[in-house]
Amino acid sequence: MIRLLHRIEQGVGLILKPTIVLGMLALITVITLQIVSRVFFNAVPWTEEVARFLLIWITFLGGALAFQQGRHIAVNFAVDALPASLRHWAKGLACLILLAFMAKLAMIGYEYMQVQSFQRSPSLRWSMSYVYAVMPISAALIFFYALVDLLELIFKSTPCQPEESSL
């Protein structure tokens, strides 16, 4: 079962990495267009809005990818100072707290997305639910990754070391 979950985790990572890279390329393109249009022509009104939305999506999805790869910010000195048996329990407790937080964040994000679905972006007139959708999506991804870590901690008694790969 753990092996299947790791394959799913890797598959999601294979989708997430190029999505973030494409988002960054799109962000660079839009900002370049914004600068060129302001300097040489009339400013293109939608570029600022698209750049903001891309940055929000890249940030949330990048946070999920960083968590998957074990590169998210963490303070480990307190856990590392514990004896091995307590360290195991502390990591399990941290996973449980993270699971609860991400489940709540996904629910709140989904509700917020629904409540704000009537709102339109100023220049493109897009539904703001597209922008807010990244919150429950990234929370669900981190929830899944934390669940895999917890199951691995329970069944293997040592958590998986994330692969050292880069974007």
Q: What is the 3-state secondary structure (H, E, C) of 121-144?
A: CCCCCCECHHHHCHHHHHHHHHHH
* Per-residue confidence (pLDDT) for residue 79, from 0 to 100: 80
Q: How confident is the model at residue 89, as a pLDDT? A: 87
Query: Taking 80 as the threshold, does the pLDDT of residue 30 lie above it?
Result: yes
The whole-number average pLDDT for the span 82-100 is 88
Name the percent of the chain in helix, strand, coil, to the closest 5. 75, 0, 20
Whether pLDDT at 145 is above 60: yes
Give the per-residue pLDDT at 158.
52
* Identity of residue 26: A
* Lowest-confidence region among 14-18, 29-33, 64-68, 154-158: 154-158
Predicted confidence at residue 105, as pLDDT, reads 96
Q: What is the pLDDT of residues 99-127, one digit of tens each?
A: 999 999 999 999 999 998 889 988 888 98
How do residues 32-63 score in pLDDT, each as one tens digit? 999 998 888 888 889 999 999 999 999 999 99
Band the pLDDT of 78: cuts 50, 70, 90.
confident
Dig out the tokens for 166 from the structure: 């880069």
User: What SS3 state is found at 115?
Assistant: helix
Model confidence at 82: pLDDT above 70 = yes
b/e sequence 124-144, b meaning 16+ C-beta within 10 Å: eebbbbebbbbbbbbbbbbbb
The whole model's pTM is what? Answer: 0.83
Average pLDDT, the chain: 87
